[in-house]
Amino acid sequence: MKPERLSILFVAAVLAHNFEEAVWLPGWSESAGGWQTPVSAPAFRLAATAISLLLVAVAALAHVSGPRSRSVHVLAGFAVAMVANVVFPHLIASVALRIYAPGTGTAVFLVAPSGLLLLRALHSRGYIDIKRMYWVAPLVTFLLLLSIPALFWVGMKMVG
């Protein structure tokens, strides 16, 4: 399958994942102990929406910019970050707490397969430079991780 189609599939998977989390994670966070700082539903939903919109914008820009562009590398970095997110925190939290952590199902069955297929297609068709990905993927992952508490804080200030 072409990377352009796989990117649409990946975006849809992440949107489904973020929706699942937006519905169930705020309530779960109240009893998750150290795995998730309790977060209000409005604050979490603001953060999930912002990250979802960012992904849609990056994917759209990647479609327009074409192979080997910065935006394609950022999209690949986003895929790496989301595939890593399947393991930590979702799978590890579900196993450690012995309860279903919201987002685990969509992460395992939608995000991981679509993200890995996208990365494979981007690499095999020459859309990304692997050497460039050695620093882009960690940078995108770090920025996404940094954005989450910042977005929670903004959400708490805006909607409580």
Closest alpha carbon to 54 in 153, 150, 160: 150
Rounded to the nearest integer, the mean pLDDT of the chain is 95
| Verdict on whether the full-model pTM lies above 0.75 | yes
The pLDDT of residue 93 is above 70: yes
Q: How many domains does the chain have?
A: 1
- Least confident range from 15-19, 36-40, 129-133: namely 36-40
**Which sign does the torsion angle of CA 81, 85, 88, 92 carry?**
negative
Measure the CA–CA gap between 17 and 21, rounded to whole angstroms.
6
d(CA 59, CA 148): 20
**How confident is the model at residue 160, as a pLDDT?**
58
- Judged against a pLDDT cut of 70, whether residue 50 lies above it is answered with yes
Cα four-point dihedral sign 156, 154, 158, 89: negative
User: Residue 35 pLDDT more than 80?
Assistant: no
Which conformational region is residue 60 in: left (phi greater than 0), alpha (psi within -120 to 50 degrees), or beta? alpha
Query: Is residue 102 reached through a cis peptide bond, with omega within 30 degrees of 0 on the bond before it?
Result: no
Range of the domain at 117: 3-159
In this model, does residue 36 exceed pLDDT 80? no
Assess whether pLDDT exceeds 90 at residue 27. yes
